[in-house]
Amino acid sequence: MSGDRVLLVDDEEEFARALAERMEARGLRVETAADGEAALARAAARSFDAIVLDLSMPGLDGMETLRRLRERSPDVQVILLTGHATVRTGVEAMRAGAVDFVEKPADLDDLLRRIGEASARKAILVERRVVDEISDILARKPW
């Protein structure tokens, strides 16, 4: 998990900064975004092993940001973070493509474990896609 690239998206900038510092102290490479639009721009510019995304944000909320992230990159690993969890919201988030759902305030060790699991899932998905692409290329060659 050390060195995993994480995007932390939360409109509560003090919270995001403090959590990012704690995550960086544990070896993660963390970028932050204060809203959904900034998150989409950062995710378009680079790949992240996991995205920790606040559900309740002004403007583009977490659910819509999640949907747009998944449209752009089906392999993206999004962990939703919320202070207002309901079973219905959790189910909706998972159906929309979130890989996990964590309530604020999140236990750091638990969150780091979930980020590690998300990163491992992404690595497997990317490896499968590359193997499929190579197989496809080889199948088209007339050797």
Residue 9 has phi, psi (to 5 degrees) of -115, 115
User: What pLDDT, on the 0 to 100 scale, is given for residue 2?
Assistant: 64
* pLDDT value of position 74: 87
Superfamily name with CATH number, domain 5-140: Response regulator (3.40.50.2300)
Q: Which residues pair with 101 in a beta bridge?
A: 80
Q: pLDDT at position 139, please?
A: 87
Give percent of the chain above pLDDT 90.
66
Give the separation between CA 134 and CA 57, rounded to whole angstroms: 41
What pLDDT is recorded for position 1? Answer: 53
Each residue of 26-43: pLDDT tens digit? Answer: 999 999 999 999 999 999
Across the range 83-91, mean pLDDT stands at 79
Residue 76 has pLDDT above 60, yes or no: yes
What's the mean pLDDT when you consider all of the chain?
Answer: 91
Whole-number Å distance between alpha carbons of 76 and 131:
18
Three-class DSSP category at 95? helix
CA distances from 126 to 3, 64, 92, 132, 133 (A): 18, 24, 25, 10, 10
pLDDT in tens, 102-112: 888 889 999 99
